[in-house]
Structure 1
């Protein structure tokens, strides 16, 4: 049997419950977020890869992320052997062994690596890659209009490749039947699975040239049926009607004997296929079969109950010791499911650390979110508690617009809050330039155990798309005593890969402040007692004579923000939405600025003062303009998920996504997009990085004799620079990051001159007028012509 990755277990409260909601917190909370909060406030960004169903993979119009996620699940499962217990063979199933099997001839195509790389970004101590593979199928199926595929959790990742055995298009019916029996499916179930798996997507000519002839389909991508991006019964109805376009049932596959769909569908003379030739029966049976497929797991794995959305769920709860040590800030959000009813208000009633009644904490609406079948509202709060009496638990009272009031008590145990150890986020920081991370925590002086910092560190692997994950623990050193708490600190160094994806806990005995992330840390550690560490109490108003100070919804007493949120207005500009880049042009092309270290929305607004629009992209790129480029359209708000490096409470767009601001009256500007961008003379059209100087606009000409070209051409060299190729941008960052410049008279020669001035060894031009430079190239992801110095 494959070696199984040891699960890193961190203490959490998870009690059995017969109620609709699980007892919070549960080990499945992160997966529950991934599955049900797909767009809007608090969305992780995972589901946005397959929403809508037509989303291209890696920006390639000939690929579909949704189809690739479904294929990945089948390939990972299909080497399963349910007879392993009696034959001594490897079991297989959904165990993420596929990430070690990408060099196998059975797993052809870029989709496997792309998908597993994506899952690796969301892999954590709570969520295995194997669970993400199963969840990915569920999300893709539902996004494409298919059935809800229930998602159970608990899969364990393999640590090595499994056996071969993925069905291949050239196999005989006999071979197919035996392979599916090995997986646990009879002939009829085999036919169901093939039809359900082939209702979206298609076949690539580049991967299977004997099945699809190059040049005969758009993007060399032959669809399985006439609804490429819809999960429906057309794969079966068209086959039965004799009008199929399925490349695995007709066409070149006949001559190459690779018509695997025709072979399987005809395994019982089309009898099974005829039972799923209506939309209702197709979706019903596919929901059942796909669930069975993702629940093929080794016998050592025990899957839990199917995930269901919480009715109410606390988010990002944080206690923070304030200056002087006499008070504690209590902040967070409450997510309320509004699918079945709108909410009027939400409030918390708490017990202090002795169990005595505390007071009521009011909340304000922080944002809304959606899922594939649900809607949610988030209510934020900020309260100041007495550090001596503090808090131990709370209940949630939700008032619905119907007037009904429901109290949620977490299945009778209350929503527990421990105050024995707490991360002090204002005093903690992460220097992205050096990788140095400092963590400061407050521990009640009565604690008999010194705290430790527990880290879950990801390490990239050159031959495996998903990273490894290992735990380490660091002792923390005692400092000053403040009120009833003692401050502790420790420091460590993260690699560049770990800067934004490291999770950590602070523990002291059985107490734990858990599941914090490095991306939530600021760049500067504030001294304890500074305004940065006590500001949370400066805008609250008293609502009673007890030990709690609670925020209200008045403009003079807004709650202190503790999590990233969309800013409605910035410097007189109004948030217009999350927008895509234009078609072959920048959405905003008049001026641009880079600041990957300290970019904030306010910084971009200042840089773009005088322009009609501005927006931030890739977390650190600021663009300005007076109109939107052709093809720039509004996208789901959750797509703009990158945190601003200079303010972890703001969003700074994402890859190919602009956090767009403009005049309040222009919220519908996407319907009147300009086909060109005028360059303003009131601001320099210069792309500036934090490490570059203003670029020279001089150009040099080649002295070599050559024929005068009659059209655009790509020179083999420019000066002493050699053409390397047309490269993509990096994932979530620029491919070349040393310096950046932009001007309308751009030439390769002027780009070479500017990049020589900063001692770069690589340079590239992009979007016609932008150039970038670097000493080295990282992972590659938008097309860039790259040249390398000899």
Structure 2
């Protein structure tokens, strides 16, 4: 066969990357595209949670999952032979090449493949997952975008040996890379880029790293955990810390990086000391690395996100067969646009004009570089005319409307064979599937099932096993015949199925999305008691549970957050602890059918329960102090046993706390049933590990309690806070049967540290408040303020009943209007106002001077809130100048109970060395802000510990909780930001802040 030179292949790959076109839906890369871009939020796939932050490993200290993902990509590719068959390359063969004492040493290969196996299915190969792991690890650690393609094909047996080993000589390395299709400069580039993150474990390579000489016996290649050019800079200019260049590896002839870098007299590695050159080189060479596949494998174009993509599209034949429900989501890329509305225009079965369907915002999601909005819809269309395709019109706030026609052909949809979700079910291993098929069809109807079947114990990825069952014809409903079939499956986890009729199919369905009971087609739609959740693991999962016989629409359950589960109330999305579980009382796992209710039942007697990674349940009476509140979008996994509930995510807990205790044995209680009027409700924000005095204010008369209800807020750090809605019985000895006052729809005047500031418009071209967004169907003023308090932002705004927006300043063009314009009640409390269409009910965080007013001095444990002037006298511009910290009139010697910035740090030295706090700084764009020394301690870092280690330097700073950096100057390009952005609590002292992601809390020698 004709082989092109590697250099020419690289140029062709780059040209292809530059000439990509918009994909046409549906495409073979659709599943891969979802996993690649939907990192957090609505319908997120959770892939990036395993490498977020870059330093994170769910397997304990001394490991970095991102580095392991980058390493497995190289090891799978490295046995390629471009001159002879078998060609090899990136083909998943490494799953069969993990023999002890072989070329692939260390636990990272098995754990990476186990993670990839969770996403592995008939539309997403292990080889593509390995390539995607390279893209995610580099980008997630701050590196460049590695061009990602799809279409790799998995092999089912091990390939030849040939992964480069540290003990090889320079000539061997040159020959091995030439066999893979790479030149000497390519070899240098790939090695430097591959070693930009990660390090060497003493346990695996004792000849390279001596046990006890590095933290956790893990010696990093350079002094940073991020993907940057330090490996090149430190090799050329020093100090060198790369264990494959210096140290024991030299005497043991295993200094392989030195052998590689000197292969062209250090020419290539010196060029890579330029940060931009390094990024450009790594993007290209790592792209070529993951594109090394056999010539018979045809890869897709470089994958870019769809501007508009259908998601979870489903047809459902309704009772009597007169109508078909058309439902799902339209995913719109909002990275470069602000969407005001999305409409669908569909073509009927015969090519005629079908009609127009409106959508509503279902949720939002984020990738490394992109943002997306999901616009949900559900509409009944006549079965006789039906549907064949549709287009999508996206209207932006600036007035531009763009119609997306899927590259001119419309988004196709077939109605010949329709999977009926409500009539299908799964219970105790028995799967029953029903399909509606056009009566004109004469070809067999089939149920096709794909299961994941475990391989031998030493092979970490399962096999995909297909089975086909011919379906049996049953009743006729209108223009359709119903077909059914049953099968026994070993587990719902990972099982996909679909129905087909000749060339038509409705497939790639999740067994975990089915109910336990098959309903008849004329049965009423079951209602959900918990309209809560964010993400579905499959883009094709239907949100329709049943059908309706009435002429009016029956409520359909939707994915949403569940405010309460029995006696427990939702606290938020929490991280796992640093070096410890957040909840340690008890745990159990149920990956096929976990629900919030089953976890709650399993944690009876405990104060907290939390669900993680979809199928893991944890219980405890204390929340570990290092567990911190994350954004709601991080908890994006749906519960496998209830697709309308959220069950956390990787390293994220859907957390609930026991807040309702029913004293049914008391003789003074007149009734055993509690009505809503007997409950008092409050929201509290406090440190999970500490008690503290609180700042309180009285809630308005919107309470439905017989006793007064209030708001309690502790001014704690966002990272040490928990948000809870506490529901307790009345303190009265007898439960009242009627409320003392009737609730009325009203403006909530204040919530904790926030006061109502007025009704404001959205500007014409930007968001009024754009820093954070928390939509929920359970929205209240209290929930929104609690969400915005976590940073904390100066402003919280509620819009369109269910939207919550946060920011520190207003976008230009927002104006104050009459309170009457904010006339929509809150989605979660019909007695509170939550803005309106294009109108925000705005709340401002109090604390210091507002047009000459200042907060009162605190007395005892409470702080009197300032009285704001009428909203007509305040403007967004005035608000943007309001500091978010309390005034200096606080008591002189308060007892510290929450994290705070320490103004000075003194060392117990002879000269009593003292450092003063400067500010919160960003990292410089191309180098560390403080780059002369560094050390890491993610379990017990404190400010004093960092100061002690950097005692000889002028500056030091803490970052990401457990990282300490030292230097005598601040690098050019670093800039100060507001102190609140350095909000990570120090793992060794819950009363100190230790920077944040890409944020340094910097101190300077006095």
TM-score range, shorter chain: 0.7 to 0.9
Residue aligning to 2:40 = 39
1:490 aligns with 2:491: no
Indicate which of 292, 299, 306 corresponds to 1:310: 306
- 1:62-141 matches, within 5 Å, as 62-84=62-84, 89-103=85-99, 105-141=102-138
C-alpha spacing 1:449/1:47, structure 2 compared with 1 (3 Å): same
Residue aligning to 2:11 = none
- In structure 2, C-alpha distance between the alignment counterparts of 1:569 and 1:383, rounded to whole Å: 30
Indicate which of 453, 459, 465 corresponds to 1:470: 465
Deviations 1:29-75 (A, max 9, x none): 0111111111111111222212221121x422111111011110111
Q: Contact 2:103–2:165 (CA<8 Å) still a contact in 1?
A: yes
C-alpha spacing 1:65/1:22, structure 2 compared with 1 (3 Å): same
1:459 aligns with 2:469: no
Indicate which of 161, 165, 173 corresponds to 2:162: 165
Residue aligning to 1:647 = 642
Q: Contact 1:346–1:397 (CA<8 Å) still a contact in 2?
A: yes
- 1:245-264 matches, within 5 Å, as 245-264=241-260
Deviations 1:79-118 (A, max 9, x none): 111111xxxx431111111111111621100111111122
Tell which deviates more after alignment, 112-121 or 208-217: 112-121
Indicate which of 659, 678, 684 corresponds to 2:654: 659
Q: Contact 1:576–1:661 (CA<8 Å) still a contact in 2?
A: yes
Indicate which of 472, 475, 483 corresponds to 1:480: 475
- In structure 2, C-alpha distance between the alignment counterparts of 1:343 and 1:674, rounded to whole Å: 35
- 1:287-686 matches, within 5 Å, as 287-431=283-427, 434-462=428-456, 463-496=458-491, 499-532=492-525, 560-561=556-557, 564-567=559-562, 575-582=570-577, 587=582, 600-601=595-596, 615-617=610-612, 619=614, 628-635=623-630, 637=632, 639-654=634-649, 656-661=651-656, 665-666=683-684, 671=716
- 1:136-155 matches, within 5 Å, as 136-155=133-152
Tell which deviates more after alignment, 152-161 or 335-344: 152-161
Q: Which runs of 5+ in 2 are unaligned?
A: 2-18, 529-551, 658-680, 689-715, 730-1006
- In structure 2, C-alpha distance between the alignment counterparts of 1:50 and 1:656, rounded to whole Å: 10
Tell which deviates more after alignment, 614-623 or 408-417: 614-623
TM-superposed deviation, 1:183: 0.9
Residue aligning to 1:194 = 191
| SS state at 1:527 partner | coil
Deviations 1:175-207 (A, max 9, x none): 111111111111111111110000100000010
Residue aligning to 1:783 = none
Tell which deviates more after alignment, 632-641 or 478-487: 632-641
- In structure 1, C-alpha distance between the alignment counterparts of 2:605 and 2:169, rounded to whole Å: 68
- In structure 1, C-alpha distance between the alignment counterparts of 2:440 and 2:384, rounded to whole Å: 12
Indicate which of 279, 283, 286 corresponds to 2:282: 286
Deviations 1:557-612 (A, max 9, x none): 897346x4444677898755321244577646789899888764467679999998
Residue aligning to 2:59 = 59
- In structure 2, C-alpha distance between the alignment counterparts of 1:625 and 1:118, rounded to whole Å: 27
TM-superposed deviation, 1:528: 2.4
Q: Contact 1:108–1:207 (CA<8 Å) still a contact in 2?
A: yes
Residue aligning to 1:546 = none
| SS state at 1:632 partner | coil
C-alpha spacing 1:668/1:230, structure 2 compared with 1 (3 Å): farther
TM-superposed deviation, 1:642: 4.3
Residue aligning to 1:696 = none
C-alpha spacing 1:396/1:609, structure 2 compared with 1 (3 Å): farther
Q: Contact 2:116–2:130 (CA<8 Å) still a contact in 1?
A: yes
TM-superposed deviation, 1:659: 1.1
C-alpha spacing 1:515/1:585, structure 2 compared with 1 (3 Å): same
| SS state at 1:263 partner | helix
| SS state at 2:655 partner | strand
Residue aligning to 1:742 = none
C-alpha spacing 1:448/1:129, structure 2 compared with 1 (3 Å): same
- In structure 1, C-alpha distance between the alignment counterparts of 2:625 and 2:193, rounded to whole Å: 37
C-alpha spacing 1:219/1:198, structure 2 compared with 1 (3 Å): same
C-alpha spacing 1:359/1:71, structure 2 compared with 1 (3 Å): same
C-alpha spacing 1:259/1:593, structure 2 compared with 1 (3 Å): closer
- 1:709-728 matches, within 5 Å, as none
- In structure 2, C-alpha distance between the alignment counterparts of 1:579 and 1:348, rounded to whole Å: 37
Deviations 1:361-398 (A, max 9, x none): 11111111111110111111111122222222111111
Tell which deviates more after alignment, 515-524 or 474-483: 515-524
- In structure 1, C-alpha distance between the alignment counterparts of 2:174 and 2:236, rounded to whole Å: 21
Computed over aligned residues only, the root mean square deviation of the Cα atoms, in angstroms, reads 3.2
C-alpha spacing 1:323/1:503, structure 2 compared with 1 (3 Å): same
Larger Cα-atom Rg = 2
Residue aligning to 1:223 = 220
Tell which deviates more after alignment, 463-472 or 232-241: 463-472
TM-superposed deviation, 1:320: 1.0
Tell which deviates more after alignment, 58-67 or 606-615: 606-615
| SS state at 1:465 partner | coil
- In structure 2, C-alpha distance between the alignment counterparts of 1:319 and 1:363, rounded to whole Å: 16
Tell which deviates more after alignment, 385-394 or 161-170: 385-394
Q: Contact 1:393–1:415 (CA<8 Å) still a contact in 2?
A: yes
Q: Contact 2:40–2:634 (CA<8 Å) still a contact in 1?
A: yes
Tell which deviates more after alignment, 240-249 or 577-586: 577-586
Q: Contact 1:77–1:293 (CA<8 Å) still a contact in 2?
A: yes
- In structure 2, C-alpha distance between the alignment counterparts of 1:133 and 1:405, rounded to whole Å: 39
Relative to the length of structure 2, the TM-score reads: 0.59
- In structure 2, C-alpha distance between the alignment counterparts of 1:430 and 1:153, rounded to whole Å: 32
- In structure 2, C-alpha distance between the alignment counterparts of 1:609 and 1:116, rounded to whole Å: 35
Q: Paired residues, what number?
A: 632
C-alpha spacing 1:46/1:485, structure 2 compared with 1 (3 Å): same
Q: Contact 1:322–1:534 (CA<8 Å) still a contact in 2?
A: no
C-alpha spacing 1:154/1:581, structure 2 compared with 1 (3 Å): closer
Q: Which runs of 5+ in 1 are unaligned?
A: 2-17, 536-555, 684-790
Deviations 1:521-554 (A, max 9, x none): 122222321113799xxxxxxxxxxxxxxxxxxx
Higher relative contact order (CA 8 A, sep 6+): 1
| SS state at 1:216 partner | coil
Deviations 1:400-442 (A, max 9, x none): 11121111111111111111111111111111xx311111111
